């Protein structure tokens, strides 16, 4: 592995509601000029796709950003990697949750309609200024970070801006209830809206934390103590409880949808077939056919948060002509069945998951070159 990569910190222009989002760029003279944006999951920050500190041992071992930006030999590409953090994340978020609690009432839809456009537009603007062209981007999302890419990709703007999408443990069907979702339910009472720090919540509720750790990963596939460290640093950020509530809506209605205008009414009447069509919010799940970008959908064979069936649903319903689905399990040749946490922190994640992603990106680049000839 070469280590000529440089780390640069950026902030996007303001979203329509005033947030400036932190971005970390890993680049070098050897990287190809195709930006790859990495995005974390629901309760996480940058550490779910970029664990550790720049160039330390854990960063080299577990960071997907490290793998893609450093992976150089005669045959392979190294990529210009941008690690995105959605609103509320980063050491100094735009709005302090204690001073500006009114800014912490967002939903998943705000990630889709405000944060993703701000992130992609900033990267494209940087390219226009520094490299004199306006590229499409690859988006790699862990868990919710992949879900919002599906939703954004259903729009014309998404189709124009996305060159390819990789989702890692990103469900869209929500047919299987599990312990992790029960934990989310406890974090977010339905009648309140406030900011939540997942790390602090789990630390103050040791019994819930224990249950979380039992179901979040395949213990055989994760180094001892790593999950606890991840909870400490990778979930130490403030998010809106409305996001957690929206996930509960996904599971109650087996749908990936916009936040209802009247959630209580939707819960009551949304289960009545004759009324459902009149009260249901826009469904990202039912409009997956509008997503036409090349896709790699990754599942874990032992993933309790995003069961393989829920992940595969998206890959079989998108409108893309170029779709790959892969379940990382013993049946597919892996040393372990991957859990949700393992997909970015497993013992063999570099050789199994990251290598697979890297090869998919390389194949996309080869296809792109062949089209221009």
Q: pLDDT digit string (tens) for 277-328? A: 788 899 999 999 999 999 999 999 999 899 999 999 999 999 999 999 999 9
Q: How far apart are CA 313 and CA 150, in angstroms?
A: 12
CATH architecture for segment(s) 6-174+283-372: 3-Layer(aba) Sandwich (3.40)
pLDDT at site 72: 66
In this prediction the pTM is 0.94
Would you kindly state where each structural domain of the chain is located, as residue ranges?
6-174+283-372
Determine contact, residues 63/3, Cβ cutoff 8 Å.
no
Instruction: Encode pLDDT of 116-136 as tens digits.
Output: 999 999 999 999 999 999 999
Instruction: Encode pLDDT of 45-74 as tens digits.
Output: 999 999 999 999 999 999 999 999 987 665
* Interior angle at CA 202, CA 197 and CA 203, nearest 5: 100
Cα 72 to Cα 47, 75, 117, 253, 363, distances in angstroms: 23, 8, 30, 45, 15
Q: At 103, list the tokens.
A: 């800014």
Determine contact, residues 297/149, Cβ cutoff 8 Å.
no
């Amino acid at each position: 592995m070469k280590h000529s990569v440089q780390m640069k910190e950026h902030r996007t222009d303001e979203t329509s509601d005033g947030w400036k989002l932190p971005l970390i760029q890993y680049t070098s003279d050897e990287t190809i000029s195709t930006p790859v944006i990495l995005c974390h999951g629901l309760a996480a920050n940058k550490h779910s796709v970029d664990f550790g500190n720049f160039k330390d041992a854990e960063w080299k071992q577990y960071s997907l950003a490290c793998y893609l930006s450093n992976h150089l030999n005669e045959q392979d590409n190294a990529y210009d990697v941008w690690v995105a953090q959605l609103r509320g994340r980063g050491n100094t978020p735009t709005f302090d949750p204690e001073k500006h609690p009114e800014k912490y009432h967002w939903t998943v839809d705000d990630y889709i309609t405000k944060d993703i456009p701000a992130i992609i537009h900033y990267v494209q603007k940087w390219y226009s200024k520094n490299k004199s062209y306006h590229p499409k981007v690859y988006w790699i999302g862990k868990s919710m970070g992949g879900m919002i890419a599906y939703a954004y990709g259903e729009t014309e703007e998404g189709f124009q801006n996305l060159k390819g999408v990789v989702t890692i443990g990103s469900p869209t069907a929500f047919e299987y209830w599990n312990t992790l979702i029960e934990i989310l339910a406890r974090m977010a009472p339905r009648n309140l809206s406030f900011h939540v720090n997942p790390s602090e919540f789990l630390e103050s509720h040791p019994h819930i934390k224990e249950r979380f750790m039992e179901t979040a990963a395949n213990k055989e596939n994760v180094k001892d103590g790593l999950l606890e460290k991840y909870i400490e640093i990778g979930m130490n950020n403030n998010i809106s409880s409305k996001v957690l509530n929206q996930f509960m809506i996904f599971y109650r209605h087996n749908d990936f949808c916009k936040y209802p205008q009247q959630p209580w009414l939707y819960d009551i009447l949304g289960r009545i077939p004759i009324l459902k069509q009149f009260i249901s919010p826009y469904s990202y799940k039912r409009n997956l056919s509008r997503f036409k970008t090349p896709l790699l959908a990754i599942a874990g064979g032992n993933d309790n948060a995003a069961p393989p069936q829920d992940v595969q649903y998206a890959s079989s319903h998108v409108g893309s002509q170029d779709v790959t689905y892969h379940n990382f399990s013993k049946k597919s040749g892996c040393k372990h069945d991957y859990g949700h946490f393992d997909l970015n922190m497993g013992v063999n994640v570099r050789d199994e998951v990251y290598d697979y992603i890297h090869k998919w990106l390389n194949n996309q680049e080869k296809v792109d070159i062949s089209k221009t000839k």
